Amino acid sequence: MTEILELRLDELHAIGALPDGGTYRPLYSDAWAEAVKRVERWFKDAGLKTTRDAVGTLWGRAEGTDKGKSIVTGSHIDTVRRGGRLDGALGIVAGLTAVETLLATKGKPRRTLEVVAICEEEGSRFATNFWGSRAITGRIDKVDADIAQAMRERGLDPAKISAAARDDIDTFVELHIEQGALLEASGAALAVVSAIVGTAHLEVTVTGRPDHAGTTPMELRRDALAGAAVMIQAVESVARSLGKPAVATVGRVRAEPDQINVIPGRAVFTIDLRHSDLSARKALEQRIRSLCATVASERGLQFAIRMLQEWPPVPMHPEVRAVLARAAQDTGVAAEEMVSGAGHDAQILAARCRVGMLFVPSIGGRSHCPEETTSPEHLALGTHVLQRALELLAY
């Protein structure tokens, strides 16, 4: 099994590979379209009936002997910029390999089994996070002009997005890399995810006054970027002082007018805030808001905070967790339980079906970078456990 997993992962990684390392397959790009086509070929070769939904998510279906809702596995096909080889790709490749093996060894399933390559999860090109899973759950209520245009260029009609909604999925299970270093530290080869953290994405706009960099004395400045820098430090120290599992990240900063000899009149930065407990996440946000207010008033700046996106923490379904734990036991693997610090499609799909996730260790905890790796043994072991779980659910 290791060989086929590695081969398929290499093939996918090469699609969108960048000259300086890593890969980039943003939604509706040429690399994305090529990757979807490649996976479609694999699905067909495995005997699955393929369809593409209204947003470009690819489904591969093995009809069950019983009527009823589907058992689904898979992951997202898009990547972050300079992403690694496993985030998303592993769930698709492992899901396909597991289903293919089950069909070859056990024959037709009782429940319909599906593998899915979700079109987008990362939000790395448009303001789209969870585009595929939001379409599946009927939760896309607004389509920005740039996404609509990119959809049309791929032959997709933005007016038909609601047709992607599904109400015939019973269970979704996904194998993913941990993307952190907890499993490596504990020495466990596998985790059953208990919950996915809640996330808030905020955008802070700091407004000061643009002035001449040479003629304006320091005490007369209203430098928006210098104020933003103090706020950014406050964001980091608030999260540190709250302690684990609180995390806060400023990932994007923009200054205006972005000139070497002009004092910045405006600075805009983003904050990604996460915690497994919703009230703790909200408390973190509150402290950041009040610290930003203090910094702004001390420096004669204005500031505004806009909530871009907010996702509550989502528990995995207890019955699915139990199936995954049993699958690990049946496969002879001691699995831990852990909360996912990363977001996943399962947290969106949970609104419509039972969900569960398995994690395999990330070497050095690295992810969202070209160095993202997991040992071949762990990739195969995770796929075996996924296969056993799908067997328990669908046969």
User: What is the binding site for Mn ion (CB under 5 A)?
Assistant: 87-88
Beta carbons of 231 and 206 less than 8 angstroms apart: yes
Residue 315: Cβ within 10 Å count = 15
Binding ligand HGY (rule: CB under 6 A), the pick from 83, 343, 356, 361 is 343
223 binds, among ligand HGY, Mn ion, none (CB under 5 to 8 A by kind): none
- Who's near 130: CB < 8 A, 6+ residues apart? 120, 121, 123, 343, 345, 348
Residue 146 beta carbon to ligand HGY: minimum distance, rounded to whole angstroms: 19
Position 169: which residue type? I
100 binds, among Mn ion, ligand HGY, none (CB under 5 to 8 A by kind): none
Binding ligand HGY (rule: CB under 6 A), the pick from 177, 235, 342, 355 is 342
Binding ligand HGY (rule: CB under 6 A), the pick from 122, 174, 178, 372 is 122
Which residues within the stretch 33-72 sit at the binding site for ligand HGY (CB under 6 A)?
Answer: none
Nearest CB to ligand HGY, comparing residues 40 and 121: 121
DSSP code string of 235-251: HHHHHHHH-TT-EEE--
Residue 55 beta carbon to ligand HGY: minimum distance, rounded to whole angstroms: 17
343 binds, among ligand HGY, Mn ion, none (CB under 5 to 8 A by kind): ligand HGY
Residue 343 beta carbon to ligand HGY: minimum distance, rounded to whole angstroms: 4
Distance CA 141, CA 280 (A): 29
88 binds, among Mn ion, ligand HGY, none (CB under 5 to 8 A by kind): Mn ion
CA-wise closest residue to 346 among 133, 123, 118, 42? 133
Beta carbons of 159 and 57 less than 8 angstroms apart: no
Nearest CB to ligand HGY, comparing residues 199 and 383: 199
Helix axes of 2-14 and 30-45: crossing angle, nearest 10 degrees: 150
In which residue are the tokens 């006054």 written? Answer: 209
Residue 89 beta carbon to Mn ion: minimum distance, rounded to whole angstroms: 9
Nearest CB to ligand HGY, comparing residues 100 and 122: 122
Total interface residues for ligand HGY by CB under 6 A: 4
Give the three-class secondary structure for 175. strand
Beta carbons of 328 and 383 less than 8 angstroms apart: no
Nearest CB to ligand HGY, comparing residues 313 and 343: 343
Distance CA 288, CA 249 (A): 12
Nearest CB to ligand HGY, comparing residues 269 and 303: 269
120 binds, among Mn ion, ligand HGY, none (CB under 5 to 8 A by kind): none
Burial (0-12, 13-18, 19+ Cβ within 10 Å), 34: middle
Residue 393 beta carbon to Mn ion: minimum distance, rounded to whole angstroms: 22
Calculate ∠ Cα 189-247-264, nearest 5°. 135
Binding ligand HGY (rule: CB under 6 A), the pick from 121, 285, 372, 391 is 121
Residue 342 beta carbon to ligand HGY: minimum distance, rounded to whole angstroms: 4
Residue 296 beta carbon to ligand HGY: minimum distance, rounded to whole angstroms: 28
Distance CA 13, CA 22 (A): 8
**Residue 250, interface with ligand HGY (CB under 6 A)?**
no
Nearest CB to ligand HGY, comparing residues 62 and 358: 358
Distance CA 271, CA 307 (A): 10
Nearest CB to Mn ion, comparing residues 112 and 179: 179
Residue 395 beta carbon to Mn ion: minimum distance, rounded to whole angstroms: 27
Residue 86 beta carbon to Mn ion: minimum distance, rounded to whole angstroms: 9
Beta-sheet pairing, 113-118 with 58-62: antiparallel
Q: What does the binding site for ligand HGY look like in residue numbers (CB under 6 A)?
A: 121-122, 342-343
